[in-house]
Amino acid sequence: MNEFRLGILVSGRGTNLQAIIDSIEKEELPASISLVISNKIGAPALERCAKHGIESQFIDPKDFSNKDEFDNAVAELFYEKNVDLICLAGYMRILGKSFIKNFEGKVINIHPSLLPAFPGLHPQKQAIEAGVKFSGCTVHFVNEEVDEGPIILQSTVPVYDSDNSDDLSARILEQEHVIYPRAIILFLENRLTISGRRVLCKNK
């Protein structure tokens, strides 16, 4: 098993999780996935873990009296696994301040828009309604503000006049699968430095 350990948070299909798994299995990404945690029972992402022999766990937020208790339980599991980086892959919960502070600079997310444009929910729909000609996806560090952390990588796709949200989502998703593993590689190679709102990337 590779020394660099990933912890991944999911809620749904897990296509970005699959992209990370594929990159590891192709030996492009020199890492291992120590644990995948889902806040949704029966999430297809968990089936992907079973197929690839990856440890996964469903944790029900309803079993906790408040958000902080849930976040603390998740954090404890990642501590036990000594994870080096936490990746949000379609995780539909907002992480609390204490969680982010405890893993400061070690949590990243991918969002289907060119941030800072169209944060939050339904960014593809927002892009189409705004009439933009280009959209895309962004990998960023997670901070206490939703979708406002320093940007690591972005990829651009065209927005066509005939597009609906599903069309644009599919086009963006293809690029998500490319840049998310790439961003993880940059992190594990210690090439990223956060400088205020910017992420500086050193040459290899």
Catalytically active residues, by annotation:
111
- Cβ-based neighbour number of residue 121 at 10 Å: 10
CA angle 84, 121, 86 (to 5 degrees): 5
Distance CA(96)–CA(67), nearest Å, equals 7
**Tokens standing for residue 200:** 């500086």
Distance CA(121)–CA(29), nearest Å, equals 29
The length of the chain is 204
Phi/psi of residue 86, each to 5°?
A: -110, 125
Q: Please check whether residue 45 is in contact with residue 90, taking contact to mean a CB–CB distance below 8 angstroms.
A: yes
